[in-house]
Amino acid sequence: MTILNAFTLNITILILLISFVKESEPPVTNLPKPTTIKSFHIVENDSVQYDLNLAFDSLNQPLYYFRNIFTPVCYTNKCHPVYINFYWDLLGNFIEYDFPPKKILTKVDHDPFQEEDYQKLLEILLNKNSLLKAYKMEELVDTQTMNNGVDAVTGATLKTIKNEVIEGAVYTCYTLWHIANGEVNAEIPKITEGLMSRNLLSRFFESENHYYHYYAVEKAFGNPESTQLFTTQIFQKLTGDNIFLSKYILEQFPENLLSESTVQQQLTSGYQQAKYPLQIEMLKKFASMEFSQEALKTLTIHNEFENYQLFQLKSKVFSAQKTLPKEVTHYLANYLENQDSRIRQLAYETLIKMQPKEKTVQKKMDQYNSNK
């Protein structure tokens, strides 16, 4: 190979390498474009001031909050400007970010962020419980390893926070996390509260945002009129896929509503549709309630997946009642022939306490007792 050919090959390889390391395109938000925008002037700690914007759709319904941010990223006497747009939902939870035209993020020595860096930054900002909350900036950065840049990777504490930051962009992560998860998180709900309406609360129930669901349930239970208006949505969420929300609804259910026969009927009907983990939680709740006769009948509907744990909890519900319909005693008597000896014994013990009058039930009890 001639010297000229070798030189040409090296230049080609160099060009290819440069093309691979060029800066990635920064993320672009997929949020709907607002029809109108309303700005709120926010003052934090009597010193930090900025405009917080609320986006509205064509029906004048609020969509999300956003802020066009300029912040210097500094340490010691070196700084560089960061231009970025942050977005929050209507309860103040950070949701995503994008950039003004031609703006990007850089690391030490001005290396541009790559696609994986932008993705990791989003994960960092979405983490409300990040360890960055517990540190001061001077605890993160070892000034002896800053390599004369405006940002750095920590020395002593790197192992502790390595999953919370981007290598070469510690202070950028720290600064942006504290903006995304700062006092604005408390300011936004105050504004949204003033905008709350029946239509907006309905949208919260219908949203895929689980934070909205908790808020909507709390608001609905806080007002008798709202509770009545949103009964259907509450029970849909109760028997939905989010077991944590279901447990929250059971815990927050107003005591005065639990005594209403229509609500009890909806609860026991919901039990039949619920998945096993929720059935467990519902029966635990039911054990402290006094049910109507109709609701108790609904609990006797055969459940092919009923195991010992469910039967044990359901027996506690029946034992806590002052009176029981005959359907309950017949239901228990049928379990005297169950394959599980624990269920048979528990059914018998529960019936003994009830002292049923039905002759068919008494006959089954006598037969069980004689076969033991």
Question: Would you kindly state where each structural domain of the chain is located, as residue ranges?
Answer: 36-185, 288-372
Residue 371 pLDDT: 81
CA 166 to chain centre: 25
The answer, yes or no, to whether residue 156 has pLDDT greater than 80, is: no
**What's the sign of the alpha-carbon dihedral 337, 324, 295, 226?**
negative
Residue 145 pLDDT: 52
Which residues fall within 8 angstroms of residue 365, CB to CB, at 6 or more apart?
A: 333, 336, 348, 351, 352, 356
Tell me the pLDDT band of 303, cut-offs 50, 70 and 90: low
Three-state secondary-structure class, residue 37: strand
Contact between 193 and 201 (Cβ < 8 Å): no
Global model pTM greater than 0.95: no
In the structure encoding, which two tokens stand for residue 26, read together?
């920064």
Highest mean pLDDT out of 43-52, 81-90, 161-170: 81-90
Distance CA 118, CA 10 (A): 32
The answer, yes or no, to whether residue 301 has pLDDT greater than 90, is: no
Q: What is the DSSP-derived secondary structure letter of residue 162?
A: T
The answer, yes or no, to whether residue 17 has pLDDT greater than 80, is: no
Q: Is 147 left (phi over 0), alpha (psi -120 to 50) or beta?
A: left
CA 68 to chain centre: 26
Place of tokens 């002759």: 359
Mean pLDDT of the chain: 87
Phi, psi of 161 (to 5 degrees): -115, 15
CA distances from 35 to 1, 4, 55, 68, 345 (A): 65, 61, 7, 17, 67
The arithmetic mean of pLDDT across residues 21-29, rounded, is 70
The answer, yes or no, to whether residue 151 has pLDDT greater than 90, is: no
The arithmetic mean of pLDDT across residues 328-350, rounded, is 93
Rounded to a whole number of angstroms, the distance between the first and last alpha carbons of the chain is 97
The arithmetic mean of pLDDT across residues 123-149, rounded, is 76
Strand residue runs (E) in the chain: 36-44, 48-56, 62-75, 78-88, 94-98
Q: How many C-beta neighbours within 10 Å does residue 357 have?
A: 9
Q: How many C-beta neighbours within 10 Å does residue 369 have?
A: 11
Residue 194 pLDDT: 95
Contact between 103 and 26 (Cβ < 8 Å): yes
Distance CA 85, CA 71 (A): 11
Tell me the pLDDT band of 155, cut-offs 50, 70 and 90: very low
The arithmetic mean of pLDDT across residues 118-124, rounded, is 96
The answer, yes or no, to whether residue 54 has pLDDT greater than 80, is: yes
The answer, yes or no, to whether residue 146 has pLDDT greater than 90, is: no
Tell me the pLDDT band of 110, cut-offs 50, 70 and 90: confident
The answer, yes or no, to whether residue 23 has pLDDT greater than 80, is: no
More confident residue, 272 or 147: 272
pLDDT tens for residues 243-282?
999 999 999 999 989 999 999 999 999 999 899 999 999 9
Phi, psi of 8 (to 5 degrees): -60, -40
